Amino acid sequence: MNPAVFLSFPELRCSLLLLVTWVFTPVTTEITSLDTENIDDILNNADVALVNFYADWCRFSQMLHPIFEEASNVIKEEYPNENQVVFARVDCDQHSDIAQRYRISKYPTLKLFRNGMMMKREYRGQRSVKALADYIRQQKSDPVQELHDLAEITTLDRSKRNIIGYFEQKDSENYRVFERVANILHDDCAFLSAFGAVSKPERYSGDNIIYKPPGHSAPDMVYLGSMTNFDGTYNWIQDKCVPLVREITFENGEELTEEGLPFLILFHMKEDTESLEIFQNEVARQLISEKGTINFLHADCDKFRHPLLHIQKTPADCPVIAIDSFRHMYVFGDFRDVLIPGKLKQFVFDLHSGKLHREFHHGPDPTDIAPGQQVQDVASSPPESSFQKLAPSEYRYTLLRDRDEL
């Protein structure tokens, strides 16, 4: 029989400490490294994936690494299934092809994916464990609010764009497609649904989807396509949720600026909905073909006093239309001139042709001078861009390239 082994008190205390540490140390998760071989498979199978596009030499990337790993550990405890939430990273120096594929222009960039589909809005919030964890929890929450009584529709926030689906059953392909679209577009619209007996009065011709525009005067619109066709449903709802003329705020300014398109902006008082409606109608009438070359925006005059001062205007002058090319700002003439056919379109064309910039420096083009009128160079400097200041900051990101600006 082996003799008993007795530990001294210090040895016993050390052993117990090691045991307790082993039992209570949380399980850490490895951040998934993505490459050309595994990226599609991993992202396609993840309900939600947050991907950190980084470079080792970037100091902001270095600062984010431990925060990103700790946030992953916190979320893994709440969503243990490996495909529920994935925290992944791409070394953009090693995989420049992936960086180009996702148009990475700064480090670190945090992009969200749902079942392999990249979401338009990247994460731009605070870089802390709590903020990242809260962001993922928000992404995992149900994007569709269920209605238990159709009377609830009368209490909807009509300042928002509301999409309402009426379904016979929740466990149906129609609803699964609707929910998938809601997951992607819930930042742009409020999504609601009703089922069974609650939805029956609205299902006289079967399951359907209704769009309720902001305000109380515009009529509802009904989706007439196949509800099991994801692309058709998504495109119709996106068209309703993402308006042609978007509002710019301090919250989305960085995102809009990073799209790289010049801004055509209407500055108006918040309560002046008439001017906004005129602008929206004229943009749709004159400039729909320019959608991919310039961003159509409207801004609150009170909130954006500084850009107005740049062009020597005040809120008292609103409504005011201007272009910010990210190099200079140019002012449209009298607001009412927007109703002159082709006038707003010519203003945008003059930006793209360089005429606005040229005339600010040298006066009117010779073709715009009356016969016999003397041509004289007028040295001037157009106001500098104001919204460029909302672009991603060099104090937060390593910026990879300067934007080509007009």
Q: Which are the contacts of 112, defined by CB distance < 8 A and separation ≥ 6?
A: 48, 49, 50, 51, 118, 119, 121, 122, 123, 139
Q: Please indicate, yes or no, whether residues 134 and 152 belong to a single structural domain of this protein.
A: no
Separation between Cα atoms, residue 379 and residue 332, nearest integer Å? 20
Q: Please indicate, yes or no, whether residues 118 and 160 belong to a single structural domain of this protein.
A: no
Separation between Cα atoms, residue 135 and residue 112, nearest integer Å? 10
Q: Please indicate, yes or no, whether residues 149 and 133 belong to a single structural domain of this protein.
A: no
In the listed set 241, 269, 293, which residue is the last one of a domain according to the structure? 241
**Residue whose token pair is 């203003």:** 347
| CB atoms near residue 182 (< 10 Å) | 22
Rounded to 10 deg, the angle between the 129-140 and 59-78 helix axes is 50
The pairing of strands 208-212 and 162-167 is antiparallel
Q: Please indicate, yes or no, whether residues 170 and 224 belong to a single structural domain of this protein.
A: yes
The domain that holds 214 is classified in CATH as 3.40.30.10
Q: Please indicate, yes or no, whether residues 45 and 136 belong to a single structural domain of this protein.
A: yes
In the listed set 97, 114, 140, which residue is the last one of a domain according to the structure? 140
In the listed set 215, 241, 267, which residue is the last one of a domain according to the structure? 241
Alpha helix ranges (H) inside 129-195: 129-140, 173-185
Asked if residue 262 has a cis previous peptide bond (ω within 30° of 0), the answer is no
The pairing of strands 117-118 and 106-107 is unpaired
Per-residue pLDDT of the chain (406 residues; tens, 9 = 90+): 555 555 554 555 545 444 444 444 454 567 999 999 999 999 999 999 999 999 999 999 999 999 999 999 999 999 999 899 999 999 999 999 999 999 999 999 999 999 999 998 999 999 999 999 999 999 999 999 999 999 999 999 988 999 999 999 999 999 999 999 999 999 899 999 999 999 999 999 999 999 999 888 889 999 999 999 999 999 999 999 998 999 999 989 999 999 889 999 999 999 999 999 999 999 999 999 998 899 999 999 999 999 999 899 999 999 999 999 988 999 999 999 999 999 999 999 999 998 888 876 665 655 555 555 554 544 456 688 888 888 888 899 999 864 333 3
Residue 23 falls inside a structural domain: no
Q: Please indicate, yes or no, whether residues 130 and 40 belong to a single structural domain of this protein.
A: yes
Separation between Cα atoms, residue 164 and residue 147, nearest integer Å? 9
Q: Please indicate, yes or no, whether residues 273 and 386 belong to a single structural domain of this protein.
A: yes
Task: Let me know the angle formed at the C-alpha of 71 by 67 and 75, rounded to the nearest 5 degrees.
Answer: 175
**pLDDT per residue over 333-360, tens digit each?**
999 999 999 999 999 999 999 888 887 6
Residue 20 falls inside a structural domain: no
Q: What is the pTM of this model?
A: 0.78
**Which residue range is the domain that position 60 belongs to?**
32-140
Q: Please indicate, yes or no, whether residues 52 and 128 belong to a single structural domain of this protein.
A: yes
- Per-residue DSSP letter, 218: S
Residue 16 falls inside a structural domain: no
Q: Please indicate, yes or no, whether residues 208 and 150 belong to a single structural domain of this protein.
A: yes
Structural domain tally of the chain? 3
Least Cα distance to 220 among 276, 138, 173, 164 occurs for: 164
Scored b (16 or more CB within 10 A) or e, 132-170 reads bbebbeebbeebbeebeeeeeeeeeeeeebbbbbbbeee
Q: Please indicate, yes or no, whether residues 179 and 258 belong to a single structural domain of this protein.
A: no
Residue 215 falls inside a structural domain: yes
